[in-house]
Structure 1
């Protein structure tokens, strides 16, 4: 099978190379292949995307300057059916012989096989037909260029084009634009027939996009229409629409000046066969009805019959049966209030908040004129809510592979209760489990499924800030606040040191502005209990090999080693490793050793102590993020995120008040548990530039530091930083880079300072296949903790010389709802190498790191 695929690939590649010499293979004799577009504006070349995107015809796409898709298309046999039939035209005996062996039906079906049809259909569909110059399309492009310049103030612009033959059957098109002089706005006046709208406009006239002296641009007129419409409709003008705004532009005075008259006519509507015109009315809300159990399958008349009405703070809550919610839980989500002016933004905000509750389907909000008002200036707001099922059940099953287990099966079941306390709360409980197979030393059993992990998580969400004082003035309900209380438990067996993990958190979230988000963890508790610390050296094999090698070099006692091992001998886990460490760095070391090797043993022992001890973390944190990304297709945006976290202060206070005794490490404890204490800060900035034509330049920068103090001289492993992996420096595997210029000394290298930056140029290859060129820089270091090795410690700007650089390329396939990513990373600058060998050492595919990921890294 592998040979067949290889042959097919070589056949296609050879065909593409050969066809490259004949890119005009499918261009008729009287036609020309478009090779290039050139745009000259007032005799100067203009390569801007704004103009090139206006052209109807563009040359065939190229990959690194090579027309790959065109040559693939030229390689395809577009008449493969005829070719197959012609095979038997001159040799009918061959057809009869094959029909006796396969049957006539099967012989005919061979014409649709991969060799005769499939490969050519693939080349045709994946390839790109030649772009042949079409005069009609070229004239349309010229007209577009003229219109674009007219819309930007060059009213006398003209465009012509020239077709310039460059080779046989090949030509380029040159567009020549003469703009003339630009027109500028002179006077801007208004004629608004409705006095109320006229006053409203003048109150915000300074925000207008149309100002005397600005160059005429149609886009400014469109923006002004949008601004005026939004302003009016947010201040009671219920019937107002953009089409009521017109502009009279007078350019007859000469001197390239344009006088603008902004005209807004009165409201026009039909009543029967008659048309009426009147001033726009400014509407107020006279009544707000909230239908809490609306059934969209019924007509509105039927769905609102036989209902019960509950009046709460000027809101009418209407239900078909007994009201299932505490009134405030619903009314807090509605920003349309009685006696307020009609406003579109209140409708939008109400829709967002109600959707965020997760107990209703997408709401419907409608307005009707209140017939009880003799002036017809009142609106009734009707909010229709369709409840989601109170109870829902979900499950998932996945097959996994990781560096911990060769094969695994994981499953999750979840149960959700909505409106559990009648206050629009949501309660979720989920159980998860995993069984897997591992050949790791930590799991020596012969059973296939020897890895087990299971856990349970519970979470309850309140659609408000749950605090002992009123937070409305600090975080108003328009910020859509919520409170989440969660707790969980997980246990591992035959995974690392076998852990029990207890978690609990109380989290507040809100959105200060659109595309802004804030999160405050009042407390986030994690207790990690290691159940199998004797298994440490089975898990951290690099440390074990280093320790065994040193024990062999210094001729440690023979009883420390596994009988029969050599080159080097291997220490017995756990008795041999403990005995050698005690001889080397114990209270009374008995083994004479080089100072550097003694530091190595001490470092291994200190790391083992830190990674095998139980951790109690009681932290509080605040996270703020902002993005300008409008939607999933927006490729020109930035995102900023910052986080501050503090741990251990509350427990330190409790420990001092309760006079808890210190443990054997001379550390304070709470409930006889040593707790972590640190301060941590992070900054992340992401910027994307949309270069058009499916080209994007993406940058990411990150700085994070965690400083231990008080009851700790290091950071817990779960709160430290690592480098490498598919979303970090892709030339190194996860945890294999750093700290500093240290080589990959441990299996899981981590530190408490991280600086990273990445750049990625993304482009389309063809169809849904995309490519990328990337560069990742960064590293981790130790700072202000108990690590003393100067190679790992950040001492200042000079330490930035230890920044690693990885470069590479990748392929991505877009499945619409997610992207599968394959990246090849190469170590361009490796700070762990010797001087003179840091740059481009082992820069080849044999030493590259292959990363498979889902979605983009940033």
Structure 2
């Protein structure tokens, strides 16, 4: 009987690394500018496989527009530190067989961000996180963050911005909630790690709950006034969403794919909050959403930003809601070498469950007629796929625009396409 001698050679990663990214950003509100991000990594911080990541970013944008909006600018500075431990840090010791498939990770992070928008406001924000992630098997991943804290503060506001908030109490409330403390839990089932499977299924569900524990220590204010913690108004909400995907791979070497996706999300403010904090609301449109509409420009409901501009009541803010529905389908096929083509169709929108009083006739509210309020579009794409690294160009045009009056929404605006540039597949 013969013997087999196996030699396994391992090459360690470089202990320290520095990464730089330079981006050009353009948004639906005509803000355009560069963004520079730098990240330093140490992969063996305490000699036990701990990973330290320190990242900083600097971004400047200016608005190319006419009239009163011309010359608006935005400056953003950010700093974040993260340490990842390749083990569970917890007061109770777990049975070693509990994580028999893979080594769990404990993640901690602290971050601070500065944002200044000329003629509007200056915003300071900080965040802290402590949590765990682990793989239950080849396909299933859990992530649990029992501590997730966000703090925001408007440090300087202009007269124009104060007038906007006075005219829009709904928006005022979303900025007043300076303190967000809660927990998040995520479950992911991903068959797409197996590239040889012709049928690939993906499911991600996320639960985000804020304000329950901190509410026990909250201080009651005046009647009809929100509670505070350490002098700060805190948010209470529950938010759940689901991202469901299915890929059918076929043809020679499974080089062709029909990819589908469905997303649904709902956020419920309660207790101390009448509206979900602005930073936690949903948006629709953009290269990873409904590609025939620019990022954050779709909805809520049948709201029309152009009509607001015609009435000189533009608020400069992104269009968001606490309900989001989207569906996508895409046919991907090889062209030549690393070049792949795509034909796709997208549909979706965001809504408010409780209408913003600033909107006319509750045009932003979710109703049973939501199907007729979906933004829909179709288009073609060129994807450069080099060993899984994808550079994507998608050209799309809307054929159903819910912001138009009824009877005018079905109109294929092939002469008004939107070009999307992104890294990675949309779904």
TM range (shorter): 0.7 to 0.9
Q: Does 1:674 align with 2:233?
A: yes
Q: Does 1:687 align with 2:246?
A: yes
RMSD: 3.1
Q: Does 1:525 align with 2:166?
A: no
Residues 546-578 of structure 1 show CA distances to partners (whole Å, capped at 9, x for unaligned) of xxxxxxxxxxxxxxxxxxxxxxxxxxxx6xx47
Query: For 1:156-555, what aligned pairs fall within 5 Å after superposition?
Result: 268-269=1-2, 392-403=16-27, 406-416=32-42, 418-420=44-46, 422=47, 424-436=48-60, 438-439=62-63, 452-472=75-95, 475-494=98-117, 497-534=121-158, 537=161
Q: Does 1:768 align with 2:364?
A: no
Q: How many residues align?
A: 407
Q: Aligned in 2, Cα 1:778/1:669: closer, same or farther, shift over 3 Å?
A: same
- State the partner residue of 2:208: 645
Q: State the alpha-carbon separation in 1 of the partners of residues 155 and 282 from structure 2.
A: 24
SS of aligned partner of 1:725: coil
Q: Aligned in 2, Cα 1:623/1:610: closer, same or farther, shift over 3 Å?
A: same
TM-score normalized with structure 1 length: 0.44
- State the partner residue of 2:312: none
Which one has the bigger strand percentage?
2
Q: State the alpha-carbon separation in 2 of the partners of residues 632 and 851 from structure 1.
A: 26
Q: Aligned in 2, Cα 1:817/1:630: closer, same or farther, shift over 3 Å?
A: closer
8 Å contact from structure 1 (residues 497, 535) kept in 2: no
Per-residue deviation at 1:638?
1.3
8 Å contact from structure 1 (residues 752, 783) kept in 2: yes
- State the partner residue of 2:217: 654
Q: Aligned in 2, Cα 1:654/1:412: closer, same or farther, shift over 3 Å?
A: same
SS of aligned partner of 1:792: coil
Q: Does 1:826 align with 2:397?
A: yes
8 Å contact from structure 1 (residues 707, 785) kept in 2: no
Runs of 4+ residues over 4 Å off in structure 1: 383-389, 439-445, 631-635, 784-789
- State the partner residue of 2:416: 847
Give 5+ residue unaligned stretches, structure 2.
309-314
Per-residue deviation at 1:664?
8.9
Instruction: Between 494-503 and 678-687, report the one with greater CA deviation.
Output: 494-503
8 Å contact from structure 2 (residues 300, 364) kept in 1: yes
- State the partner residue of 2:272: 711
Q: State the alpha-carbon separation in 2 of the partners of residues 803 and 451 from structure 1.
A: 31
Q: State the alpha-carbon separation in 2 of the partners of residues 712 and 733 from structure 1.
A: 30
Q: State the alpha-carbon separation in 2 of the partners of residues 402 and 819 from structure 1.
A: 20
Per-residue deviation at 1:813?
2.7
TM-score normalized with structure 2 length: 0.85
8 Å contact from structure 1 (residues 713, 785) kept in 2: no
Residues 425-459 of structure 1 show CA distances to partners (whole Å, capped at 9, x for unaligned) of 514141413153525678969xxxx7543332222
Q: State the alpha-carbon separation in 2 of the partners of residues 851 and 663 from structure 1.
A: 49
- State the partner residue of 1:301: none
8 Å contact from structure 2 (residues 175, 278) kept in 1: no
8 Å contact from structure 1 (residues 405, 436) kept in 2: no
8 Å contact from structure 2 (residues 345, 379) kept in 1: yes
Which one has the bigger helix percentage?
1
Residues 752-798 of structure 1 show CA distances to partners (whole Å, capped at 9, x for unaligned) of 011110011122233333222111112111115766853222233x3
Q: Aligned in 2, Cα 1:816/1:387: closer, same or farther, shift over 3 Å?
A: closer
Q: State the alpha-carbon separation in 2 of the partners of residues 763 and 817 from structure 1.
A: 15
8 Å contact from structure 1 (residues 826, 844) kept in 2: yes
Q: State the alpha-carbon separation in 1 of the partners of residues 70 and 18 from structure 2.
A: 32
Per-residue deviation at 1:616?
1.1
Give 5+ residue unaligned stretches, structure 1.
1-267, 271-364, 368-382, 538-573, 583-603
Instruction: Between 454-463 and 396-405, report the one with greater CA deviation.
Output: 396-405
SS of aligned partner of 2:94: coil
SS of aligned partner of 2:370: helix
Residues 792-833 of structure 1 show CA distances to partners (whole Å, capped at 9, x for unaligned) of 22233x333322221222222334452222222222122222
Instruction: Between 613-622 and 475-484, report the one with greater CA deviation.
Output: 475-484
SS of aligned partner of 2:217: helix
Q: State the alpha-carbon separation in 2 of the partners of residues 452 and 666 from structure 1.
A: 34
8 Å contact from structure 1 (residues 427, 458) kept in 2: no
- State the partner residue of 1:732: 293
Residues 337-390 of structure 1 show CA distances to partners (whole Å, capped at 9, x for unaligned) of xxxxxxxxxxxxxxxxxxxxxxxxxxxx969xxxxxxxxxxxxxxx9987666x
Structure possessing the higher relative contact order (Cα contacts under 8 Å, 6 or more residues apart): 2
Q: State the alpha-carbon separation in 2 of the partners of residues 386 and 766 from structure 1.
A: 34
